[in-house]
Amino acid sequence: MVVRTRPRRAGERPQHPSVGRHAADPRSARGTARSRPRRGSVGGGDRERASSGSARRVAAADPGAGNGPERPGVVGSSAAAGHHHQPFAGGGVRAVPVASRGARLHGHGGPRGSGQGAGVPRHRREIRPRRRRTGNVRVAPAGSQVPGDRAAGRVVSRPLVPGLVAENTTDERFLGPVVFRQLKALTERGTRHVVDVAKTEIGECWTIKDADRVCRAVVELAEDCHLVCVHNDHNERGKAAKVVEALGERGLATPVIPLVPVRETEAWLLADREVWAGLRGSDPSHLPVRPRDVEKIHDPKPVLDAVRPRRGRRSRADYFDYIGQNVDLDVLAQIPAYAAWVAETEEALKGLGFL
């Protein structure tokens, strides 16, 4: 592209085309356009080079153009109107509107225009304050309060870890899920805290062992649990009471709650007719009409064998886990022994501050 300029007058100093900063006017102390882009600017090199090239051509066409207001990247008196000059083939310059600052900030006014701030020097970009992050869900120890959480609208979650020492493996498979589900149901009714109930921790010793070994197992559970349930059948009812008494003498602060059916644990599996009716091959006709009558069954094990499906290779113990995860807790609450355990557990949760 050829740019036509006027002839140099007599006595006028020649202007070298490489002069970028002082090309607007030899008498001015500082030009209005930079010959090189600012280092570190994002997407601004093309705009700066175009502006500096326009400045040299405008200075050659109009020596008085540098006397206007000074703006980086904009040359001549048209800066106040928001224009810069570009050469055209007719031999002169034309004023082209400069994109607004808001358009350049959103990537619509630069030569590349892809992304926020494209084509805008770093020193001219708008600085926006960072959004303050709110705290995540925090875990508070039992009985503690986190200051400022209520005002800030934060949710405080408290962990609740239950423990269980049962008589054998089959009782663990049934009572473990039941204890977890019942504690979760009790804490969901309360509005004081959001409680995160953990899976039931199982002790290393069965309650059929001697009282000293059971006490040691409960003490080990108490180190990691908020409360411990000690299960025994009717023939070992006195052992659970002795364990609770011995732990109280040792100054154990963790609540220990006896979990003792009137007959056997298998009787509680027979309380919910609906859960058995959902199993193909089962015979719920052997079940009592009222859930509370299951504890009147002298020997619930033969009744359980008659109710459970006989087909397949599943044993009686395989249904302990299934019934424990699916039995209706409201139906279990109709059994007096189970209702007594729920009431004692609820009082323990209130003493710990969960309810």
pLDDT in tens, 119-178: 555 555 554 443 333 333 333 444 444 444 443 444 567 899 999 999 999 999 999 999
pTM above 0.75, yes or no: no
* Weakest mean pLDDT among 8-12, 97-101, 252-256: 97-101
In a domain, 305, yes or no: yes
Q: Each residue of 226-244: pLDDT tens digit?
A: 999 999 877 777 777 788 7
Q: At which of 76, 99, 123 does a domain end? A: 123
3-state secondary structure of 240: helix
Same domain, residue pair 66 and 186 = no
Same domain, residue pair 183 and 118 = no
* Weakest mean pLDDT among 83-92, 181-190, 242-251, 338-347: 83-92
Output the six-digit token pair for 172: 């663990």
Domain that holds residue 74: 45-123
Q: Give backbone dihedrals phi and psi of 157, rounded to 5 degrees, phi first.
A: -105, 135
Output the six-digit token pair for 194: 């959001």
Sort strands 138-139 and 156-160 into parallel, antiparallel or unpaired.
Answer: parallel
Kindly indicate the confidence band of residue 9, based on its pLDDT and cuts at 50, 70 and 90: low
Spatial distance between the Cα atoms of 152 and 66, rounded to a whole number of angstroms: 57
Same domain, residue pair 299 and 231 = yes
Spatial distance between the Cα atoms of 74 and 124, rounded to a whole number of angstroms: 14
Residue showing tokens 């886990």: 321
Same domain, residue pair 161 and 96 = no
In a domain, 55, yes or no: yes
- CB-based contact 229:163 (threshold 8 Å): yes
- Of 38, 104, 34, nearest to 70 (Cα)? 34
Q: Is the pLDDT of residue 67 over 50?
A: no
The pLDDT value given to residue 72: 44
Same domain, residue pair 113 and 192 = no
Rounded alpha-carbon distances, angstroms, from residue 309 to 30, 32, 66, 322: 98, 93, 99, 13
Number of domains observed in the structure of the chain: 2
In a domain, 217, yes or no: yes
Q: Which of 62-76, 148-162, 244-258, 330-344 has the highest mean pLDDT?
A: 330-344
Specify which residues 93 forms β-bridges with.
Answer: 87
In a domain, 31, yes or no: no
- Of 194, 192, 183, 189, nearest to 156 (Cα)? 194
Same domain, residue pair 117 and 159 = no
In a domain, 269, yes or no: yes
Spatial distance between the Cα atoms of 291 and 297, rounded to a whole number of angstroms: 11
Kindly indicate the confidence band of residue 248, based on its pLDDT and cuts at 50, 70 and 90: confident
Same domain, residue pair 289 and 214 = yes
Q: Is the pLDDT of residue 269 over 80?
A: yes
> Taking the CB of residue 34, how many other CB atoms lie within 10 A of it?
17
Specify which residues 235 forms β-bridges with.
Answer: none
Question: Burial, 55: exposed, middle or buried (Cβ in 10 Å; 0-12, 13-18, 19+)?
Answer: buried
Q: How many CA atoms lie within 13 A of 108 on its CB side?
A: 6
